[in-house]
């Protein structure tokens, strides 16, 4: 590899959906700088002009995979550019690259985004300096189980290519040469007499609340994760209905929520997604502020330092004239104090501020490769929160600048919308499973957003505003003339409730195509979600009725000795499914991201093969063609 006369920088491009890929990219950048690399730039893919890629000489891509093999939002424009047919096989001649992917082998399309990118970059003429690395959430050490050895190999490879320009491996792993450096952010403290200051008690209506949410989150690192809540205008919701759908076992709590839009001009379609910013426990916020010796009533502005400003501003268009916001308000709206587990880098930075020697040694061990597995057990497996970690190391007192950078950002939660705007003007409905689990050490954990929503009383909490954003989902609304096969076990039925509500309204204007709907749950008595709704539309000329060419099929997996799932019900009516598919029907699949999508897809392949007389290989290819043609849509969640 010859860098003579070329740009000497090392470029790290990441595409992150939840922040893991950004964290890895930051680590790559830190290690490269520690190794003496003269120029390192770490950028989100949507902050980089893809047409400039041939000018680079060494690019490291860090890419997560979301959903069923989908690209993160911040990668979509970049990827679309790379797929242009006019880019020849020599377009990236002279470019060297490496790819590290973050995924979960429990998904059918494991690390699909990274694999696609790696192949496409090679097709365009770039040269891989190392085999792609694939991080797996199922690994006993999480994605770092693959990342650590992959980075060692990468630095060794680059070091041998050109030690004058690229990182020196010996320096990267020399603990004696490690220094803390600076945080990415600058905190400015303001005089309390400023008229434009914002805090949670200062707004008089939802308009002020929306402004405050947008301001806080535009200053926060959350904006760097390409979470579009920091870009689009926030909409305020008020809860109208909180109804439990499931019965029996309190640990299996599924709720139906109805909200009204307080802001005007908000529109959505069936198949869209609602993001909600959850509220944090004020007791935890107060405990964090007290533990960190912070002044909750002081007013601050938060800005990235110059080195990081280009990437940051390109995504959120941050104004230099930021209104000061109360520190407690900023923490409440942007920093996940008592829900998300911190990253490994927090433990490394904490070690520099630990006054007790035994705490410093333990933190250094956790931050090392040797301590990786023990850290994973202590931190991620236990769902340890930032507040709990800080309380476990009482001698550590970190500056607020570092806390802003290292505390996990408070993220919005995405939910498939389960209502039609035609049926419920100015409203949006959700079907939400209230999440709870037990850690290996038998500690009970609860999902932040779902538990908060479940605890709201729409009659007593009328003045609680819920910050929300509407986004396009992966289930496009079918036109009335399109026959559809809907498969949605459990809360996967949510978007299909919206589809059926919409089709009912469309029936009033003219003829509509048939709908086959397959629903599944554990047992009829306790989890038959929206039972009356489905049955009412499956009778008397309803959109799911046989008279309309449709059908409603439900599988109760635990009501008999042999488990019965949606795929078994599909096999029972395989002829009807094939008949609709032959007439151009679209398939929509929603629900759990684990085994279900693969099992249902396999069943569809069997039905196509049996009914058409084709081989399984041909049936599989035919189904993939339907997916590429926009007639097979999947939306899943973990």
Known binding residues for FAD = 413-416, 447-450, 637
State the Cα–Cα distance between residues 385 and 421, nearest whole angstrom: 38
| Burial degree of 180 (CB within 10 A; 0-12, 13-18, 19+) | exposed
The residue to which tokens 């409203």 are assigned: 427
- What distance, in Å, lies between the first and last C-alpha atoms of the chain? 42
Q: Tell me how crowded residue 538 is: count the other CB atoms within 10 A of its CB.
A: 21
State the Cα–Cα distance between residues 506 and 204, nearest whole angstrom: 41
Residues making up the annotated binding site for FMN are 16-21, 64-67, 137
The residue to which tokens 């994605």 are assigned: 143
The residue to which tokens 């035994």 are assigned: 358
446: helix, strand or coil = strand
Q: Tell me how crowded residue 535 is: count the other CB atoms within 10 A of its CB.
A: 14
Spatial neighbors of 397 by CB under 8 A, at least 6 apart, are: 292, 293, 353, 355
Q: Which one, of 609, 581, 587, lies nearest residue 600 by Cα? A: 587
Residues making up the annotated binding site are 16-21, 64-67, 137, 413-416, 447-450, 491, 557-558, 563-567, 599, 637
Q: Which one, of 259, 235, 277, 592, lies nearest residue 430 by Cα? A: 259
State the Cα–Cα distance between residues 563 and 550, nearest whole angstrom: 25
Q: Cβ(514)–Cβ(549) under 8 Å?
A: yes
**CA separation (Å) from 244 to 99, 416, 460, 480?**
45, 17, 17, 31
Sheet holding 632-637, edge to edge: 551-556, 515-521, 484-487, 586-592, 632-637
Structure token pair of residue 480: 């009335």
The residue to which tokens 């990253």 are assigned: 343
Residues making up the annotated binding site for NADP(+) are 491, 557-558, 563-567, 599
């Amino acid at each position: 590899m010859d860098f003579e006369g070329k740009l000497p920088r090392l470029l790290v491009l990441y595409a992150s959906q939840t922040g893991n890929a950004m964290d890895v990219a930051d680590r790559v950048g830190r290690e490269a700088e520690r190794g003496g690399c003269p120029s390192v730039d770490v950028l989100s893919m949507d902050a980089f002009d893809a047409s400039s890629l041939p000018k680079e000489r060494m690019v490291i891509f860090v890419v997560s995979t979301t959903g069923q093999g989908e690209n993160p939002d911040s990668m979509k424009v970049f990827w679309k550019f790379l797929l242009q047919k006019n880019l020849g096989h020599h377009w990236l001649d002279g470019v060297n690259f490496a790819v590290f992917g973050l995924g979960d082998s429990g998904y059918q399309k494991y690390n699909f985004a990274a694999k696609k990118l790696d192949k496409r970059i090679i097709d365009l003429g770039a040269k891989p300096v190392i085999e792609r690395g694939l991080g797996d959430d199922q690994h006993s050490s999480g994605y770092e189980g693959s990342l650590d050895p992959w980075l060692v190999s990468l630095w060794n490879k680059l070091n041998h290519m050109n030690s004058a320009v690229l990182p020196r491996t010996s320096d990267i792993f020399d603990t004696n040469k490690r220094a803390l450096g600076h945080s990415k952010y600058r905190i400015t403290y303001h005089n309390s007499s400023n008229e434009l200051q914002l805090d949670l008690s200062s707004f008089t209506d939802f308009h002020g609340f929306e402004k405050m949410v947008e301001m806080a989150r535009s200053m926060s690192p959350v904006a760097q994760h390409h979470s579009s809540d920091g870009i689009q205008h926030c909409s305020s919701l008020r809860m109208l209905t909180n109804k439990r759908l499931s019965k029996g076992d309190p640990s299996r709590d599924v709720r139906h929520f109805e909200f009204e839009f307080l802001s005007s001009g908000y529109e959505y379609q069936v198949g869209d997604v609602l993001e909600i910013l959850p509220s944090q426990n004020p007791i935890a916020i107060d405990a964090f502020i007290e533990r960190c010796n912070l002044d909750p009533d002081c007013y601050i502005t938060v800005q990235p330092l110059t080195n990081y400003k280009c990437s940051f501003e390109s995504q959120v268009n941050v104004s230099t004239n930021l209104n000061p916001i109360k520190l407690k308000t900023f923490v409440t709206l942007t920093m996940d104090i008592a829900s998300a587990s911190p990253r490994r880098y927090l433990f490394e930075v904490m070690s520099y501020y630990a006054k007790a020697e035994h705490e410093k040694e333990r933190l250094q061990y956790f931050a090392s490769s040797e301590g990786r597995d023990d850290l994973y057990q202590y931190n991620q497996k236990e769902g340890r929160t930032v507040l709990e970690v800080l309380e476990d190391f009482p001698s550590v007192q970190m500056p607020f600048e570092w806390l802003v950078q290292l505390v996990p950002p408070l993220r919005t939660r995405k939910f498939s919308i389960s209502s039609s705007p035609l049926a419920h003007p100015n409203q949006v409905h959700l079907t939400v499973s209230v999440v709870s689990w037990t850690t290996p050490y038998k500690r009970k954990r609860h999902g932040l957003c779902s538990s908060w929503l479940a605890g709201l009383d729409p009659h007593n909490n009328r003045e609680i505003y819920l910050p929300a954003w509407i986004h396009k989902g992966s289930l496009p609304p079918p036109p009335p003339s399109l026959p559809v096969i809907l498969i949605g076990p459990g809360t996967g039925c949510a978007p299909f409730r919206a589809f059926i509500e919409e089709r009912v309204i469309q029936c009033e204007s003219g003829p509509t195509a048939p709908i086959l709907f397959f629903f599944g749950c554990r047992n009829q008595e306790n989890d038959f979600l929206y039972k009356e709704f489905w049955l009412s539309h499956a009778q008397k000329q309803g959109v799911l009725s046989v008279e309309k060419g449709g059908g409603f099929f439900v599988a109760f997996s635990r009501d008999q000795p042999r488990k019965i799932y949606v795929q078994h019900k599909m096999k029972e009516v395989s002829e009807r499914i094939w008949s609709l598919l032959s007439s151009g029907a679209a398939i929509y699949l929603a629900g759990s991201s684990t085994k279900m999508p693969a099992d249902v897809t396999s069943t569809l392949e069997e039905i196509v093969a049996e009914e058409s007389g084709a081989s399984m290989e041909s049936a599989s290819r035919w189904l993939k063609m339907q997916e590429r043609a926009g007639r097979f849509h999947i939306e899943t969640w973990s």
